[in-house]
Every structure is written in C-alpha cells, then in structure tokens.
Chains A and B, each alone.
Chain A
Amino acid sequence: MADQSTSVDTMTYDEPGDLAAVRAFVRTNAVALGLTHQRADLLTLAVSELTTNTLQHTAGGGRVRVWAEGAQVVCEVRDNGAPPGFGEMPAPESPRGRGLAIVGRVADEVATLSDDGGTVTRIKMNR
C-alpha cells in the first residue's frame, strides 16, 4: 500500500486522444491537493499546452506527475524533447506560437531541467 504522505500520481500519454484524460487527471489531483477549481483549471490548461507541445514537437510521448510541495501544487511533465522556450505572447492575429506562451502566463512558476534523457518541466501553482 502506498504511503499517503509521499504518494505521487503518475500518468503517461502518447497521442492527442490522451490529452482529455491527462487534463482530467491533473484537475482531479490538483483539487484534491488543495487548489481551488479555478486555479486547478489554469494548471490543467498549462499542462495541456505542454503535453500538446510534446506530441507536436518530439518523437514520443511523455509522463505527467502531480504532487504538493509546501504551499504549492507541482505538476511535472517529462518528455524526450529539447527544453521548451516560454516566450512572449504572439500578436492576436498570429497563427501560431501561443501554446508555451500560455504556460508562461498562467503558471505561478515554471522550472525546466534538461539532460541527455530529455526534459523535465515543473509547473507550480500556489495553493
């Protein structure tokens, strides 16, 4: 039986049809860990954009984990890609380039770690 105090829930994804389940997973866990529904929705949006980025720009899928750490809920996305850049929001008329900019705008904190095995991005939301 899992130790509740250190339990971390994990989910994998590898195709666009998995994204709805990833969002349900993140939303449910984030609310259970103490985010309001409104902030859980923002975290879910950020994770959906990041996991969509995996599917569009890397060869494989990835893995999502959610846990609480101090005053924050942390959602980690791990994939085999290069580190994503969370740039400026493009102009409203621009056809592309919004996904990662949205992550940068709605998350309280974003941290990225990269090595030969891929990239780990942690999105943090204050509880």
Chain B
Amino acid sequence: MAQFEATTSIEPDRVVVALAGECDLSVRTDMSSVLHDAVTKSSLVAVDLRELTFLDSSGIHELVAAHQAARAGGGRVYVRNASGVVAEVLDVTGVAQLLRPPNEDAVDG
C-alpha cells in the first residue's frame, strides 16, 4: 500500500489540503473524499504538494474532478509547491496550467 497522508487546514480565505507521500490508485478513495470535503468547505482550495513524492493519473483525475466541482459552484482549486516527477506529470498533462495559483493568472499571455 502506498504511504499517503492528507492534512486539511482552514485559513480565513481558503482551505489548504497538504498531501504527503505517494498518490496512486490504492488511495484514490481517500484522495477523492478529502478533496470533496475541502471544496464543500471553501470556494478557494489550495492543494499543497510539497511533501508529495509521487502522483499518477488517478490522483490527477481526482484533482480535476475537484476543480470541476469547485468551478460549478463558482469556486477554484489550485496546486502549489510541486517538484520533481510530480511537477513533471502535472506539466505533461497540462493540469499544472489548469490548476495554477490565482496570482499567476496575469502571466496567461
């Protein structure tokens, strides 16, 4: 089983979900429920990937599903602090751009 941990903290203007370890098919249900809860709590959700060492397409699927759910309610989900192969897979799939932080909207071109 993958080592995976999700910690949710509530800030005045957003909910932060910090992911740690490896996110794959074996933890998809946990990932889905933690993101779903965050989206229902706040219209702005930051997913912090600093401690995440692996992310696959099933994890990306859950991030995109959370993004769709947030957007349907006028909210937003973004990712931050991705590095290494986690940043790589977000770039290759175009999801890094889709889930970019709000303060990077201006560089859209």
Contacts and interface: CB of A to CB of B under 8 A. Distances in A.
B93 A52 contact: no
Contact of B92 (A16, A94, A105): A105
Interface residues of B, number: 27
Name the interface size band of chain A.
20 to 34
Given A52-B57, A92-B95, A92-B98, A20 B68 contact: no
Contact of A91 (B1, B24, B94): B94
A102 interface: yes
Interface in B47-66: 54, 56-58, 60-61, 64-65
Majority-rule SS of A interface residues: helix
Interface stretch (B10-18, B33-41, B72-80, B81-89): B81-89
Given A92-B98, A93-B68, A95-B64, A52 B24 contact: yes
Contact of B85 (A41, A91, A93, A105): A41
B7 interface: no
Contact of B93 (A41, A56, A89): A89
Contacts, number: 81
Nearest to B4: A20
A95 B69 CA distance: 12
Nearest to B97: A92
A63 interface: no
Contact of B22 (A23, A49, A91, A102): A23
Nearest to A40: B85
24 contacts: A16-B25, A17-B26, A19-B25, A20-B2, A20-B3, A20-B24, A23-B22, A23-B24, A41-B85, A41-B88, A42-B88, A45-B54, A48-B54, A49-B56, A52-B24, A92-B93, A92-B94, A93-B98, A95-B65, A98-B57, A99-B56, A102-B57, A105-B92, A106-B92
Interface of A: 16-17, 19-20, 23, 38, 41-42, 44-45, 48-49, 52, 55-56, 89, 91-96, 98-99, 101-102, 105-106
